[in-house]
Copies of this chain bind each other. A is one copy, B any other.
Amino acid sequence: MGNREQAEFDRDIAVRRTDEKTYAADLAAGWVVGGGVNGGYLLAVTANALQAHLPNHPDPIVLSAFYAGASTPGPAEIRVETKRDNGSLAIATAELWQGEELRITTTATYADLDCLHAESNGFERVTATEPELPPLEECLSSTTAPEQVKELVPMLDRYELCVPKEQFVWGGAKPSGEGVTARSAEAVVTGWFRHHDREPDPLSLLQVLDALPPVTFRLDRPGWAPTLELTCHIRHKPAPGWLKVTHFSRNLSGGMFEEDCEVWDSEGKLVAQARQLARLPRA
């Protein structure tokens, strides 16, 4: 794996300070998915501006993003404001604008993960369980997605996602009940994940938390599931290597669904969690 300076992901999320509270970005066409730019990528761009703005607080701890409208590739401006900084934690807001259009409004808490961990005296009680996945070589890799799917979802070329064969999340196969496992009755998408040329870190995890197709793809409801709000918790610095990522929903109802995401690192640690509220795709 190359260093961050050479990685495609880091080039694509780069920001440039234009005044005291404003950062310029160029949203990369490579992160398009259907009619917009991937929400997790946009969050990583936003977080890059926040990180530049809060040099004393190296890590995103919790971010909440409200999506006001779909973004398009091209110039964007991120307007950052520190709301509170008590030395160990900072709360800041960031708005991502394109021209006169607000795309996302984000609030975040930044801190130093190492310090938070050191203060915990090692107390640990994790009852969440790592997703069970077949070995990598038995999974379907996103690199094998048909060209017509990649044209619609250029983002598929930015990383490698390997899902169990029955999950049908690309490849042109209809995401019907055929081959669906018992667990999929609970609306689950799970896979191995890595960026091509970069190891994971707290910043890249923000993209990973919104990279997989929505669970509605498993329920015969493919199509755009617009996110209303997405909250990300970054809990540990991930170890190098493949990540396991899982999305699941327990409450699809009233035109909306909550989608929980977990990211597990190669050492079996639950390094990040997210929950979003999204609108159900139309039937």
Interface residue? A153 (CB, 8 A): no
The number of chain A residues touching the other chain, given as a range, is 35 or more
Alpha-carbon distance A275/B62, docked complex (angstroms): 12
> Chain copies in the assembly?
2
**Which residue of chain B has its CB nearest to the CB of A64?**
B64
A235-B250 contact given A61-B228, A127-B185, CB 8 Å threshold: no
A107-B66 contact given A116-B254, A254-B120, A270-B251, CB 8 Å threshold: yes
Alpha-carbon distance A125/B218, docked complex (angstroms): 12
Task: Looking at the assembled complex, report how far the CB atom of A221 sits from the nearest CB atom of chain B, in whole angstroms.
Answer: 8
Cβ contact within 8 Å between A125 and B253: yes
Task: Looking at the assembled complex, report how far the CB atom of A239 sits from the nearest CB atom of chain B, in whole angstroms.
Answer: 14
**Which residue of chain B has its CB nearest to the CB of A187?**
B125
Alpha-carbon distance A89/B67, docked complex (angstroms): 11
Residues of B contacting A126 in the complex (Cβ-Cβ under 8 angstroms): 250-253
Task: Looking at the assembled complex, report how far the CB atom of A185 sits from the nearest CB atom of chain B, in whole angstroms.
Answer: 7
Interface residue? A14 (CB, 8 A): no
Residues of B contacting A253 in the complex (Cβ-Cβ under 8 angstroms): 120, 123-126, 235-236, 270
Cβ contact within 8 Å between B229 and A251: no
Alpha-carbon distance A128/B248, docked complex (angstroms): 11
A105-B127 contact given A116-B256, A254-B117, CB 8 Å threshold: no
In the complex, which of the residues A69, A84, A187 has the most CB atoms of chain B within 10 Å of its own CB atom? A84
Residues of B contacting A219 in the complex (Cβ-Cβ under 8 angstroms): 125
Interface residue? A83 (CB, 8 A): yes
Interface residue? A258 (CB, 8 A): yes
Scoring A residues 88 to 121 as 1 if CB is less than 8 Å from chain B, else 0, what string do you get? 0101010100000010010101000100110111
Interface residue? A273 (CB, 8 A): yes
Alpha-carbon distance A229/B64, docked complex (angstroms): 9
Cβ contact within 8 Å between B62 and A84: no
Q: List 18 A-B contacts (CB under 8 A).
A: A62-B277, A64-B64, A64-B107, A66-B91, A68-B83, A83-B102, A109-B228, A120-B255, A123-B255, A124-B254, A125-B187, A125-B219, A126-B253, A229-B231, A235-B253, A251-B270, A253-B270, A275-B275
Q: Enumerate the 8 nearest inter-chain pairs by beta-carbon distance, A residue then B residue, closest first.
A: A120-B255, A64-B64, A128-B250, A125-B252, A68-B84, A62-B229, A116-B255, A117-B254
